[in-house]
Amino acid sequence: MPDDAALDPDRARAVRDSFAAQSLMATLGASMTALSPGRAVIEAPILPGALQQHGYAHAGLTFALGDSAAGYAALTTMPAGSEVLTAEIKINLLAPGAGDRLIATGRVVKPGRRLVVVTAEVEAERAGARRLIAVLQGTMVPIAPD
């Protein structure tokens, strides 16, 4: 799996610092496990506090991880000093989030100066086996440095 080596080290550090500033990701126990141009992977354990009434990972956890992975994939394509905001994102839940952790892989479909089209896939992992549980597609907006 390609990682930061393909990104300019300052850019990789800026993206990882932005991720580290997200208190929700810290609350969920999420970590950014891979980062390359146009791609970001975020993983989180399925904690007892993130379950829905049937014992599966709550869709909110699935959405938060997919949105963040897609957003950080987009940020890797933006000019230095930029930040990113989600303009819109849609999710299709394909299967229950059953397992030990969720893995969200965000990718850039089409980079742009004003809009970046992104996608993300979220998988649930149990005992090393992964199952696709959600796909997201959306649009990210670059926020220019001050």
Cα angle 137, 141, 143 (rounded to 5 degrees) comes to 150
pLDDT band, residue 145 (cuts 50/70/90): confident
5 band by pLDDT with thresholds 50, 70 and 90:
low
pTM over 0.75: yes
Grade residue 2 by pLDDT with cuts at 50, 70 and 90.
very low
pLDDT bracket for residue 6 (50, 70, 90): confident
pLDDT tens, position by position, 85-119: 999 999 999 999 999 999 999 999 999 999 999 99
